[in-house]
Structure 1
Amino acid sequence: MIQRIQSIYLSLTGIIGLVVGYITDFIPDELTDMLLLFMIGLLAFVSLFCFKSRGVQRKINYLNIIINVVLIGFMVYDLLNSSGGRNFLPEKGVELLVPVLLIILLAMANKYINKDDKLVKSVDRFR
């Protein structure tokens, strides 16, 4: 499980999602962002531990990408309705980088899951 590269990508996604979700906990009007980030982190760890079923792992990652897109939508809506920067993020729009980074990490994990699946199927053909 840990020796696979997609495990590293999924671990990074889970850690970043949970840590940033905890940081946004200090901003009182960001409850939906916090809950979505926690859900993204938890789904990444669930996907990490579904390593025996690559199909389920891919589906969980696709669901996680969809949740990230919804999170981006909520963040864009919040940014369009806010007047300036946040409490500790002085630039407007910097927080949108986190879901984009998470989408990239999940896409890379899916790429290597597909690669793993093709490798297993090619070895099964020889049996």
Structure 2
Amino acid sequence: MIQRIQTVYLIVVILLGAVLPFFVNLWSDAAGNEIFADHAVFLSLAFYGSAVLALMAILMYKNRKNQFVMNRLNMILNLFLLGFFVYRSLNLSGETSVSEKGIGMLIPVFSIVFLVLANRAIKKDEDLVKSVDRLR
């Protein structure tokens, strides 16, 4: 059943991971050049990995337990991305004169929020199926 609410949440995660980091700057370097996800191979692979994991979770709609686990793995990947961004932002120079952080550093936070919402909806579906099985 692809028409569930967690599919909408996971589509938002796909858009956040596959599209947005390549249009929103992540940070600016000392020369003022904006850095996007396509400038760093690690970042682009991590964002694409997050999008692929969300797509795989959507396609696993028949097996809710694996879908739940796939979202947990995606959350861990986004936590690593968030940790990298925090490390990077703490090591940026010139913070007193100009802010060099971009709005794209918040993408993993939004992805984690939508993954948590998707997991709550998956858990609700799983509980509903268990309660119906109890009645049989």
TM-score if structure 1 supplies the norm length?
0.85
Larger Rg over CA atoms: 2
Match of 1:6 in 2: 6
**Secondary structure of the corresponding residue to residue 51 of structure 1:** coil
Within the candidate set 105, 120, 123, 2:132 is matched to: 123
Gaps of 5+ in 2: 24-35
Q: Indicate if the aligned counterparts of 1:9 and 1:106 stay in contact, CA closer than 8 A.
A: yes
Within the candidate set 92, 111, 116, 1:107 is matched to: 116
Q: Indicate if the aligned counterparts of 2:60 and 2:67 stay in contact, CA closer than 8 A.
A: yes
Q: Indicate if the aligned counterparts of 1:21 and 1:33 stay in contact, CA closer than 8 A.
A: no
Q: For the residues of structure 1 that align with 2:21 and 2:71, how far apart are their CA atoms?
A: 18
- Post-superposition CA distance 1:72-100 (Å, at most 9, x none): 11112222222359xxxx75252221100
Counterpart code for 1:7: T
Q: For the residues of structure 1 that align with 2:44 and 2:83, how far apart are their CA atoms?
A: 14
Asked if 1:82 is matched to 2:92, the reply is yes
The RMSD of aligned alpha carbons is 1.9
Gaps of 5+ in 1: none
Match of 1:31 in 2: 41
Structure with more contact order per residue of length (Cα contacts < 8 Å, sep ≥ 6): 2
Comparing both structures, which one devotes a greater share of its residues to helix?
A: 1
